[in-house]
Structures are given as structure tokens and as C-alpha cells.
Amino acid sequence: MKKRILIINTGGTLSSVSSENGLVPGLSSHEMIEELQMVSKDLELVTEDFSSLDSANIFPEDWASLADKIGMVCGDYQGIVVLHGTDTLAYTSSMLSFMLQNIPIPVVVTGSQLSIAHPVADAMENCRCAIHMAASGHPGVFVAFNRKVMLGSRVSKVRTMSFDAFESINYPNVGEISSLGLHISKDTLPVKKGIFRIQAEYSEKVFLLKLFPGINPDVLDILQEQGYRGVYIEGFGLGGMPFLKKDFISEVRKVVSRGMVVLVGSQCRYEGSNLSVYETGLEALKSGVLQAYDMTAEAAVTKLMWVLGQTQNPREIEEYFFVDLAREVTIPD
């Protein structure tokens, strides 16, 4: 019997067409199925249109309904492919990695830099990789792009135009397509840690703040007054923050003591943060911040949203940031 793969289309460049207002998502999955079937003759493809959106218009409620949808149908398929715009794809794949706890089948998110309707597009190649990963039998949330398979919780969009738009950050690729076919490195795959559960609750009361020299610390107070419960701060280098003149760390201490969750990582994309090296990091740690270590910004923000949707208990929130839920983080020993 042929393996059944569900293709869920959310929009993005892959399904886009030209319009008076520029490129807009337009093709339905039904209009694409013939071409998709060409790269997956040995599989039964079923398509479904979830939305037709530029991914700049994807919101957290879309992540939750996508997760619910996947949870509802995953028993009927051997794998699922999600077609998505590339701009916010890494946020979606990160959040799905948290919401689809211990998903028993592969869920592979992909998109393209050129529409499937374009003769030299990367769309078919990315779909081919995604569909075959979806049929691989390896459970988890992945991203397929430019002949690479990456963990959904580790990707970032790093290029705006090239076909090699995504990288797996601080983590090896899970798989690659070469003359060996689709080769998967087994030790990079997600590890099942419990029962399969859809946990789609989240909080939108989070903020992403990138430090720059001279930043006014009052911003934290303002966020808290506005009801924000968590902030992910991209600090300098290993995660440092200023405490002279405009004393940012004192303000951090203040908002943390009033219940704000402050997660700190690095502005540098590679190699992660470590607040235990410099005084500018150690002082931040003493003020009660949590560490993002080597997480991508996309994983840090979505993990913060997700954790705050699971619990209000400060001890449990802290514990969530000391565990690796979906291989999104390397916690040092």
C-alpha cells in the first residue's frame, strides 16, 4: 500500500501569482497537486488549503489551529508537509515543535524563494525533499529547504534571495539530499520524551528586545505596565547588558521581582550565550534572568510564548528553561 502524505498549504511565495499589488499567494493546493505528484509517484498525496497568506500575515492563533489540525488528522497519514511562506517559517516550525509534543509522524515545513509557477523555481526541489522526509518514518517537526532537512526548532531564515535561505543554527543538519539519496543522520533526530499531546496554549504577552548602546532601561517598565509577562532580550556578545550610566540591569532586577520573565540570549547568531563569563552577564544572572543559551531568536520567542501558555507558576516557568523540549537548546552540564 502507498504511504499517504497530507500536504497542508498556508500560502507564501511557493503558491504565489503576480498581481497589481505585487506577488500574492494565489494557487490552491489543488492547482499544484499534479506537479507535486510528479516528484512523489510512489506516494499517495492528499492536499488541503489551510490559508492563502503571505507569512508576514501568519499570527499565533494560526500556529494553534495548525497544531490542532495536525493533531486531529495525524493518525490518518504517514507524514505531513506544510507549505509556508519563508519569512516567518522559522517561527512556525519552532512553535510547532513545542505544540506538537512527541508527534508520532514527520511534519515537514517547506516553502520556496520562487513560485512553483516559475520555470526555474526552487519550489519543486523543496517540495520533493519535504515530501520524501515526510515519508521517511522519522517523527518530529522538520524544515526542508535547498536539499537540506533541518530540525524545526533550530532553523533561521538567513538569506532574503538565495535558494539557500535557511540554516540550522548551532545544530547539524538532520539530513541532506546527495547522490546517496536522502541521507539522515540518526543521532540528530528528535528524541521521544513522553506521550503524544497537542499543547497549543500560548501567551501573546511577550516582547523581543535587541539591546543597543545607550538603550533607555525604562522600556522594561513600560512593557510591564502594558501587561507583558515575558521578554526575550538579545544581549551583547555572550549576552552581556549595561549596568553603568543608564543601568539596564537594575531595571531588569525590578521587573523580575515584580513577576516578569526575562530570558537572555545573544545578538550573535552562532555559538550561543553564556552569562557566566563577564561581569555584565553575571550581574544579569544575579538579577534573576533565565538563559537562552544557543537557541535561535525564533525558538526563544516561541518557547517563551508557549511556556507562559502552559503555566503561571514561576518555579515551573524556570524549570522549562532548564530543559530541552525539542532539541531547541543545548543546556550546558
Q: How many residues bind ligand ASP (CB under 6 A)?
A: 9
Per rule CB under 6 A, is residue 85 in the interface with ligand ASP?
Answer: yes
- Catalytic site includes residue 311: no
**Residues in contact with 90: Cβ distance below 8 Å, sequence separation at least 6, in sequence order:** 143, 155, 156, 157, 166, 296, 298
Q: Which residue has the cell 535587541?
A: 210
Per rule CB under 6 A, is residue 86 in the interface with ligand ASP?
Answer: yes
Task: By CB under 6 A, name the one of 9, 54, 90, 134 that touches ligand ASP.
Answer: 54
CA-CA-CA-CA torsion sign (60, 65, 68, 69): negative
139 with 192: CB under 8 angstroms?
yes
Within residues 249-288, the interface with ligand ASP by CB under 6 A covers none
Within residues 109-128, the interface with ligand ASP by CB under 6 A covers 111, 113
Per rule CB under 6 A, is residue 55 in the interface with ligand ASP?
Answer: yes
Residue 47 or 101 having the CB closest to ligand ASP: 47
The helix/strand count (H/E) of the chain reads as 9, 18
**Checking DSSP bridges between strand 230-235 and strand 206-210, what pairing results, if any?**
parallel
Stretch that binds ligand ASP, among 85-93, 147-155, 183-191, 210-218 (CB under 6 A): 85-93
* Cα gap 305→203, rounded to integer Å: 5
Residue 79 or 111 having the CB closest to ligand ASP: 111
- Which of the residues 13, 86, 188, 296 is marked catalytic? 13
Stretch that binds ligand ASP, among 80-88, 273-281, 303-311, 318-326 (CB under 6 A): 80-88
Select from 330, 11, 294, 326 the least CA-distant residue to 142.
326
Catalytic residues, by residue number, are 13
Residues that bind ligand ASP (CB under 6 A): 12-13, 54-55, 85-87, 111, 113
